[in-house]
Amino acid sequence: MPDLSRREFLGAATGVAAGAMLGSPTVGHAAPAVHVRPPARPVAVGSANGLRGVELAGRLVREGMDTLDAAIEGVKLQELDPDDMSVGYGGLPNEAGVVQLDASCMHGPTRRAGAVGALEGIKTPSVVAKYVLLYTDHILLVGEGAKQFALSYGFLEENLLTEQSRERWLRWRANRGPDDDWLDVPETAQMGLRPTGTINLNVVSPKGELSSVTTTSGLAWKIPGRVGDSPIIGAGQYCDNDVGAAGSTGRGESNLKVCGAFLTVEHMRRGLAPTDACLETLRRVVATSEARLLDPRGRPQFQLSFYAVNKEGQFGAAALYPTRFAVFDGTAAAIRDAAHLFERS
C-alpha cells in the first residue's frame, strides 16, 4: 500500500463522510443481542381460584403439550364447573339475569391472539377465543357475532345460569333498594360486597415458549353489554415470547386505563423481576384512579391483582391488598401469598 501524507488521509476520510451524508450505502448496526436462558422446568402461574387449572396446565406442558393448549385446558376446568360462579357455566349474571362471558388468549411462539366479549350461551369462551386466534384474521368478536361464530364451529348453545347463580342474582335484585317493588330478603341472606371473579393463567415451557389466557363471567350484576379488561389484549392478559406473560383479576375498569398486562410485560422487558413488575403496574393504577375510588388516605377502595412469569421461568404476583395466587413450579401446584401495596384497614 503506498504511503499517504496526513493531508491526503484526512482528505480521503472527509470524502467518505461526505458521501455518506449524500446517501451512499452504509452498513447498519443490529441492536445488542439479549441472551435469555430458557427455564429448565415448566411453570404456570395465575389466580388462586384457578389452582386446579394451574396444576393441569403445568403438568400438560411438562408432558410436551403446546403452552396455549395447556393453558386453555387449565381454565376449561373452571369454565365447565357449575360450582365456580366466577367463570363459564354457572357464572354470575348481569343485572338482567343473563350470563355474559369474556375471554382472551395469546400464543407466544406464533405471536397471535384471539378474544370474545359479551358471549352468551357458550360454556367455554376461552376455547372460542382460541378459535378466533386460529381461524380468523381478527382478534376480538363480541355479542351475537361471537355466539354465531362459536355455533358455526359446533359449540352448543346452552343455558349458563345454574340454580345457585340464579339464587344469588335473585337475592341481589331483592336488596337493590328499600323503595323498589321487590321485597328485601332477611339481613342474614344479603350478599355483602359486590362479587367479582376472573381466572388468569400464564404458562412457560422448558423451551421458553409462553402463552396466556384470561376468562371471566365479569362483574356480577353489570349493565348488560358491559365488557371489562379480560377480553382486551394488553389489559386482561398479554404475552411476548421474548420476555414473558402477565394477566390480571379484579376491577377491570381500573386495569383498562393502564393496559396493565402489557405494562407489566414491559416492566419485565426493562429487567424487573415478575413480582416487582406487578407492583410497579399497581402503582400506576393508584396514580390514575379517580378521587371517587379512593379512601380519605388516598388508597383504592377496590382490589386488583397481577400475575406474571418471564421467559426464564421466574414468576410472581402482586395486588393492591393482601391476597394469594396459584403456581405450578415444575413439580407441584400450590397457593402462595402475593406481594401487596397496602394493608387492609
Annotated active-site residue in 124, 196, 198, 214: 198
Angle at 65 between CA 128 and CA 330, to 5 degrees: 115
Going across the sheet that includes 324-328, the strands are: 140-142, 112-119, 101-107, 210-216, 198-204, 43-47, 324-328, 333-337
Whether 26 is catalytic: no
β-bridge partners, 326: 46, 335
Cβ atoms 274, 316 nearer than 8 A: yes
Residue 325 vs residues 24, 235, 273, 322: alpha-carbon distances, Å: 57, 18, 16, 10
Catalytic residues: 198
